[in-house]
Amino acid sequence: MISFPTSKINIGLKIIDKRPDGFHNIESVFYPIKLKDALEIVENETLELVVSGLNAGDNAENIVLKAYNSLKTYNLTNFKIHLHKAIPIQAGLGGGSSDAVCMLKLLNNNYNLQLSTYKLKKIAGNLGSDCSFFIKNKPAFVYGKGEQQQVLTNFLKGKFLVLVKPQEISISTKEAFENIVISNSEIDFRNIAKIEIAKWKNIFCNNFEPFAFEKYPELQEIKTFLYEKGAYYASMSGSGSAIYGIFKSNPNIKTYKNYFVWNEVLD
């Protein structure tokens, strides 16, 4: 059984306040993109996880195993799990969250667990704040600690995405949240589809950028470069360190440094 976990970009990200539970309330728009990992599970005598591709850290702490363990009350068999990473980690693209949700879906769909969408979202939300977005995996206004979504239309359909991540720069979510400034912006993200894309750069911002750009000026340089190449809008995704630009058509960008680069036409 195999699945292909997708990723997302953030269009704007506002940190509203810190919650009593230690998390932060946020507002953002998540937009799914086609950059994918691959996840395969095969029944096995013991539980085993193999990770290939991009470095995904300690296997024992991998969120895919946490997803499996969250369903252990269903007396599932053991599996050999093969996770092939193509989505960069610590890049603000939600790859780990998507991996976890695909694990939940594989088990639910193939082992007749009969978990409703509501129940899946609740389980996913306990695994990570971004996880529940990938249950529906549709453009959405995201709020609360990230577990609440309001689905939007595919308002970027046909636009061209260029995503750039320096291989040597990764930003942990913990580090990013320790260095944010609370936003006082009153922007309503739910109206994003009604706003001309060329105006976004004066409206939507990512509250993680000031810290990230001060620590890693190269990220600011990439954002500026994308605008110079004609991007309607450019931004860091999530807590970083991937930077993307949205274009009318393929700008044929060629980078000369050791960057991960992804291009696609958005759905």
Catalytic residue numbers read 8, 130
Report phi then psi at 107, rounded to 5.
Answer: -70, -40
d(CA 91, CA 242): 5
The closest of 202, 192, 173 to 30, measured between CA atoms, is 192
Q: How far apart are CA 9 and CA 244, in angstroms?
A: 8
| Residue 139: burial class (beta carbons within 10 Å; 0-12, 13-18, 19+) | buried
Which structure tokens are listed for 15? 């940190």
SS (H, E, C) 44-66: CCCCEEEEEECCCCCHHHCHHHH
- What is the C-alpha separation between 52 and 36, in angstroms, rounded? 13
Query: 217 to each of 52, 134, 210, 223, 251, how far by Cα in Å?
Result: 30, 31, 10, 10, 23
One-character DSSP codes across 164-192: EEETT----HHHHHTT---------GGGG
Burial of residue 4 (CB within 10 Å: 0-12, 13-18, 19+) is middle
- Euclidean distance between the first and the last CA atom of the chain, given in angstroms as a whole number: 26
